[in-house]
Structure 1
């Protein structure tokens, strides 16, 4: 991948607001890594790898490694202004330590593009094994149900029991239960949903189980969010009992998002069902 501009690189969670800095090829802090691109004025070429340790590659001018602690479970390649170059989450095992190994060549060679191979490996240099990875928005597709509140475990358990023991209408829903999304708003999720080469989102329908959902008794009114390109419907609440019909009809194209959002009761919660 060729960067759009010359300058240093960062691997970080841009939502933390951390400012990367340092001297030498690598400098690291909590939720960030700074990579010095050298004095070459050409746009860097970067190859990314995230996963099990593939080992060091031969043939590079420099190879250095360090440990980065991710507190949020999200790391992305960013430019010198800390803006994400792509939305791919490199923190494949969620929050915890990551060994980051950077190979570099031609960092200060006039007329040559500096080249980097950045390997992001779960665990640290002591060989510690990370916990099993929790699912993330960036890796998911189809209708999503995301938990953002963790103070109501009994309500969440009841919600899951309903999904697991309910009709086949719930089967297409992917549940994302990952504490890194605590307190997230709808637009933050929409920004992290992956897109294909034609900019079509992997998930066009999002259901959020937030604090209101999990503190509203038996109805469990989820926040429904339309992520279809070109549509700007406002989110609305829909009870868990009505979600199955909602998902099926939306996937079949029988109804639009607006058909459901306009059918809510006075408190803004949809409780009926389309047939």
Structure 2
């Protein structure tokens, strides 16, 4: 039975509609194309991935979990769920590099460099941009585990946001 090893959670400020998942160099510079999943894409050179959001600018919540093997697929309560493989070169995954005193940077410690699978879940992606103060917070769950490389997979896609990104 797969077991979660560690977890990190943070409120993340989104700018330019993306959450960058980065390694040691804290830069994810690659030409991105969300037509495969409408949710997440891995950097083809490794050590990075990008999640595309429904908001262009604003606060969201991101939770990242390291598992020892592929966790059970759970799509209930999520609008979109997709997986990609990444050849990670670092010992951590940073997902909130723009931390401040109120919202610190967040990192998920990894066992080390290697091939990993990322399963990203997203919800509240279609709730407006900019958001009203009483609107639901856009939220993402990233599950990470060691796994051989494989192509992108979309397990669920029901948001208008994902449909729009896939159509570009």
Distance 1:44 1:17, change over 3 A: closer
- Residue 125 of structure 2 aligns to a residue whose secondary structure is coil
1:42: how far off?
Answer: 4.3
Distance in 2, matches of 1:46 and 1:76, equals: 11
Shift of 1:22: 1.7
How far residue 56 of structure 1 moved from its aligned partner, in angstroms, is 1.6
State whether structure 2 residue 89 is matched by structure 1 residue 75: no
- Root-mean-square deviation (Å): 2.6
When the two structures are superposed, what TM-score results if normalisation uses the length of structure 2? Answer: 0.61
User: What TM-score results when the alignment is normalised by the length of structure 1?
Assistant: 0.39
Q: Greater Rg, structure 1 or structure 2? A: 1
Distance 2:114 2:75 in 1: 28
The structure carrying a bigger helix percent of its residues is: 1
Gap change, CA 1:41 and 1:65, over 3 Å in 2: same
Please name the residue that 1:266 is paired with.
Answer: none
Alignment of 1:1-275 (within 5 A): 1-7=9-15, 8-15=18-25, 17-19=27-29, 22-24=32-34, 25-29=39-43, 30-39=46-55, 41-52=57-68, 53-59=70-76, 60-79=78-97, 85-89=105-109, 91-92=110-111, 94-110=112-128, 111-124=135-148
Shift of 1:11: 1.6
More contact order relative to length (CA 8 Å, sep ≥ 6): 2
Give structure 1 stretches of 5+ with no counterpart: 127-275
- Count of residue correspondences: 122
* Runs of at least 4 residues off by over 4 Å: none
